[in-house]
């Protein structure tokens, strides 16, 4: 009954509504209010502020009920759900169709089953995008070009292994320190989705070479805490699920706007600011793939070889 409903549900995201990520979260909240006729009232907390900004604590907090709902990243949740490292396997997904083949196919269902065993109810897949490489030193087209570059990475051990295998020096640094470090040359490069490159104006901190190498992608997951889900009426659960599916579909479109398919307006904007944008061909990507084979094999064991095999098959049949 409505008596058990909270007056407000807390929705956590990493980025705010200046980014497709935050827009997707806000859209979900708005659609829920609309579809449940105001019975469920959701407030978005960007910047993972509910866990003091520590993104890797988001999933635990969600499971424990500090957070009611989230649009979370597979990378941030991988310390709690090791299977989510799948999307960070280097050069697994060659294009957007490959991401869709995983998230909208059997692999996506398997991962949702795994999440469902951890007190959360996963509802839909969104997208933060392929992570692209930028640096201040030179154009990167081959693994050889990457040798000796100091690249700031997120802390995950898999990312560090990948960069080390490619001959780069991975530097782990908080984003607060990373920007001055890039400006002054303490680090040479970084890797992030293009939306972040654009919003953080990384060309102003000497990031003048951008390589579109699609080495890993970061899908987003729309989830609700299990106890919160169980407290809702069947009708409202259906409404929240539909709202998530609609918001996620719109969010993926937003995330690809200007950088994928026919529409490359955002890329043109970046190159008009004097950034050399390098698009790798399939053959060029294969050279990078080859250099990271051992990392791929090592982490496949952690993730589960059956799941990795299934993912490769889905991508082959996309």
Q: Considering the rule CB under 8 A, would residue 4 count as an interface residue with another protein?
A: no
Tokens of 78: 């991988």
- Cβ at position 51, least distance to another protein in Å: 6
* C-beta closer to another protein: residue 23 or 156: 156
Q: Rounded distance, CA 124 to CA 244, Å? A: 6
Binding mask 159-198 for another protein (x = CB under 8 A): -x--------xxxxxx-xx-xxx-xxxx------------
Q: Given the structure tokens 């469920």, which residue do they identify?
A: 40
Q: Does 51 bind another protein (CB under 8 A)?
A: yes
| Interface positions, 63-122, toward another protein (CB under 8 A) | 63-67, 79-80, 82, 118
Distance in Å, CB of 200 to another protein, minimum: 11
What Å distances lie between residue 133 and 8, 194, 213, 215, 285, CA to CA? 39, 9, 7, 9, 13
Least distance in angstroms from the C-beta of 148 to another protein: 6
Q: Between 56 and 289, name the residue whose CB sits nearer to another protein.
A: 56
Q: At what angle do helices 106-116 and 305-316 cross, to 10 degrees?
A: 150
* Count of residues engaged in binding another protein, rule: CB under 8 A: 48
How many Å apart are CA 241 and CA 224, to the nearest integer?
Answer: 10
Query: For another protein, which residue of 31, 44, 61, 221 counts as binding (CB under 8 A)?
Result: 61
Determine the Cα–Cα distance for residues 87 and 75; give it in Å rounded to an integer. 8
DSSP 280: P
CB of 202 to another protein, least distance (A): 14
CB 318 within 8 A of CB 97: yes
Report, in Å, the least distance between residue 101 CB and another protein: 28
Q: Is 47 or 94 the residue whose CB approaches another protein more closely?
A: 47
Q: Which is nearer to another protein, 33 or 160 (CB)?
A: 160
Q: Where are the beta strands (DSSP E) in the chain?
A: 9-12, 42-45, 69-73, 120-135, 150-153, 169-172, 189-193, 209-225, 276-279
Q: What is the Cα–Cα distance from 82 to 92, expressed in whole angstroms? A: 16
Q: Which residue has the tokens 């987003």?
A: 220
Q: Among residues 13 and 314, whose Cβ is nearest to another protein? A: 13
Residues that bind another protein in the complex, under the rule CB under 8 A: 7-8, 10, 43, 45, 47, 49-54, 56-57, 60-61, 63-67, 79-80, 82, 118, 148, 150, 153-157, 160, 169-174, 176-177, 179-181, 183-186
């Amino acid at each position: 009954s409505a008596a058990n409903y909270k007056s407000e549900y807390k929705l956590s995201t990493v980025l705010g509504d200046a980014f497709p990520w935050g827009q997707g979260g806000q859209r979900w909240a708005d659609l829920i209010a609309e579809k449940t006729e105001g019975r469920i009232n959701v407030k978005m907390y960007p910047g993972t502020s509910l866990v003091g900004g520590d993104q890797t604590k988001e999933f635990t907090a969600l499971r424990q009920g500090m957070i009611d709902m989230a649009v979370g990243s597979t990378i941030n949740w991988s310390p709690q759900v090791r299977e989510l490292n799948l999307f960070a396997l280097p050069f697994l997904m060659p294009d957007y169709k490959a991401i869709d083949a995983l998230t909208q196919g059997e692999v996506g269902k398997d991962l949702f089953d795994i999440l469902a065993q951890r007190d959360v109810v996963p509802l839909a897949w969104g997208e933060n995008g392929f992570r692209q490489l930028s640096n201040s030193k030179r154009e990167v087209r081959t693994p050889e070009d990457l040798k000796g570059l100091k690249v700031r990475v997120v802390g995950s051990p898999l990312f560090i292994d990948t960069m080390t295998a490619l001959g780069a020096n991975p530097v782990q640094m908080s984003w607060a320190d990373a920007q001055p470090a890039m400006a002054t040359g303490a680090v040479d490069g970084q890797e992030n989705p293009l939306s972040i490159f654009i919003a953080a104006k990384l060309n102003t901190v000497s990031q003048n070479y951008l390589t579109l190498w699609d080495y890993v992608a970061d899908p987003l997951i729309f989830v609700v805490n299990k106890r919160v889900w169980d407290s809702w009426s069947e009708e409202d659960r259906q409404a929240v699920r539909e709202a998530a599916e609609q918001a996620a579909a719109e969010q993926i479109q937003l995330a690809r706007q200007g950088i994928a398919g026919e529409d490359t307006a955002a890329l043109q904007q970046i190159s008009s600011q004097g950034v050399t944008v390098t698009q790798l061909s399939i053959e060029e990507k294969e050279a990078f793939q080859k250099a990271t084979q051992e990392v791929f094999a090592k982490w496949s064991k952690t993730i589960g070889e059956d799941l990795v095999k299934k993912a490769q098959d889905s991508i082959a049949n996309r």
